[in-house]
């Protein structure tokens, strides 16, 4: 049977570990997997685009375990009462193909994205950074804010969103976080002025220039999260030209990231190279750095392993009969015959769920 984790189970894991503890654990899992980069069979995600959004599959394997994530991105969904991003994922045993875990990944994607952003910033931001501008205050903003607060020591975050209600939501959710000052701003330029780190996490599927070259100051680190599919950008090309750019998986980021605007020979460094010591992190205090983050399947692989091990330790999750188990594995048709003493009758639910 397959372990099944719902959004409630994931929320329970985070509440038990604490948001800071959960983010730290995710950073450890993600960092460990990036540092064994060569063990993974990697590919860019498979995307199906439509006028309203995109649906993607993100597979990866290290030879022992295989995972994939189903994820969408539909910026107009909030008008329908749905999240912009919805996701679930599977972790399977390569030796048999048996699915070991089926889990929600909507909450988890926000957590792993924030953890990966913080992991990159630990290598690329100036030591002692304390101020961050957060441009885009939607569903992922609180996760980014908390990751940078807890994992990098950011104590002041300057907020801007074209939707005042989004900023009000973030202020409401994080108003009790100890040691964190939240300062709403009236423009992107106001928010980024003198910031050590700038995080852009906007949702519109358009070629935007949220940050322009005149806003960038020496020593800034830019955590560009929102440009994550063809035709969707956040940084003006001038920002990329003046910066050292780090990406997750270059073949995918060339298609989906902000560097889709740049020529094919525009130089980038992959994050695993920095984490493994094959390339430097920040080289000097005045260097401008960009993490062009589009999200990569390895991060979901790491997150699914974290979820499975956390759930088993806490006794969380249900059990789902996703795969038929006939008495004779060569006789699948027998499952369709009338129940006998040796063949159980079906339950009324489409899947048999039991508490773990």
Q: Which of 9, 33, 196, 228 is catalytic?
A: 228
- How far apart CA 234 and CA 218 sit, in angstroms, is 19
Domain ranges of the chain: 2-107+299-355, 111-295
**Angle, to 10 degrees, between the axis of helix 106-124 and the axis of helix 141-152?**
40
Report how far apart, in Å, the C-alpha atoms of 162 and of each of 184, 210, 226 are: 11, 11, 15
User: What pLDDT sits at residue 227?
Assistant: 84
d(CA 266, CA 273): 17
Question: Could you report the per-residue pLDDT of 310-338, keeping only the tens digit for each?
Answer: 999 999 999 999 999 899 999 999 999 87
Structure pTM? 0.93
Q: 3-class DSSP state for residue 193?
A: coil
Q: Write down the H helix ranges in the chain.
A: 7-17, 19-34, 106-124, 141-152, 164-174, 188-192, 237-241, 250-256, 271-275, 297-314
Fold of 111-295: Rossmann fold (3.40.50)
Average pLDDT over residues 99-128: 98
Positive or negative, the CA dihedral 254, 110, 56, 27 is positive
Asked if residue 66 has pLDDT above 60, the reply is yes
2-107+299-355 and 111-295: identical CATH topology: no
What interhelical angle do 7-17 and 106-124 show, nearest 10? 40
31-40: pLDDT as tens digits: 999 999 999 9
The pLDDT confidence band at residue 356, using thresholds 50, 70 and 90, is: very low
Check if the beta carbon of residue 253 is closer than 8 Å to that of residue 206.
Answer: no
Residue 77: strand, helix, or coil: helix
Q: Say which CATH superfamily domain 2-107+299-355 falls into.
A: ornithine cyclodeaminase, domain 1 (3.30.1780.10)
Phi, psi (degrees; rounded to nearest 5) at 343? -130, 110
Note if 163 is an active site residue.
no
């Amino acid at each position: 049977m397959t372990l099944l984790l719902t959004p409630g189970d994931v929320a329970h894991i985070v509440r038990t570990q604490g948001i800071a503890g959960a983010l730290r654990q995710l950073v450890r899992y993600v960092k460990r997997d990036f540092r064994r980069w060569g063990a993974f069979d990697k590919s860019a995600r498979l995307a199906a685009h439509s006028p309203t959004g995109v649906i993607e599959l993100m597979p990866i394997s290290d030879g022992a375990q295989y995972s994939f994530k189903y994820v969408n991105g539909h910026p107009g969904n909030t008008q329908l009462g749905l999240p912009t991003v919805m996701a679930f994922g599977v972790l399977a045993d390569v030796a048999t193909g048996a699915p070991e875990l089926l889990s929600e990944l909507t909450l988890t994607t926000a957590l792993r994205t924030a953890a990966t952003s913080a992991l990159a910033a630990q290598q690329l931001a100036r030591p002692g950074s304390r101020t961050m501008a957060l441009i885009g205050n939607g569903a992922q903003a609180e996760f980014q804010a908390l990751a940078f607060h807890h994992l990098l020591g950011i104590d002041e975050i300057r907020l801007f969103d074209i939707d005042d209600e989004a900023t009000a939501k973030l202020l409401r959710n994080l108003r009790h976080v100890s040691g964190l000052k939240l300062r709403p701003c009236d423009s992107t330029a106001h928010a980024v002025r003198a910031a050590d780190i700038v995080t852009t996490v906007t949702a519109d599927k358009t070629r935007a220039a949220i940050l322009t070259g005149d806003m960038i100051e020496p020593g800034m680190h830019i955590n560009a999260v929102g440009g994550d599919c063809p035709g969707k950008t956040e940084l003006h090309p001038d920002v990329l030209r003046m910066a050292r750019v780090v990406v997750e998986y270059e073949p995918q980021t060339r298609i989906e990231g902000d560097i889709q605007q740049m020529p094919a020979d525009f130089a980038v460094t992959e994050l695993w190279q920095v984490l493994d010591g094959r390339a430097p992190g920040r080289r000097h205090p005045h260097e401008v750095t960009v993490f062009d983050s589009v999200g990569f399947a390895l991060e979901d692989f790491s997150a699914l392993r974290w979820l499975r091990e956390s759930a088993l330790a806490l006794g969380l999750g249900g059990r789902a009969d996703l795969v038929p188990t006939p008495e004779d594995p060569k006789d699948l048709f027998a499952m369709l015959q009338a129940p006998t003493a040796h063949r159980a009758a079906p339950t009324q639910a489409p899947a048999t769920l039991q508490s773990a």
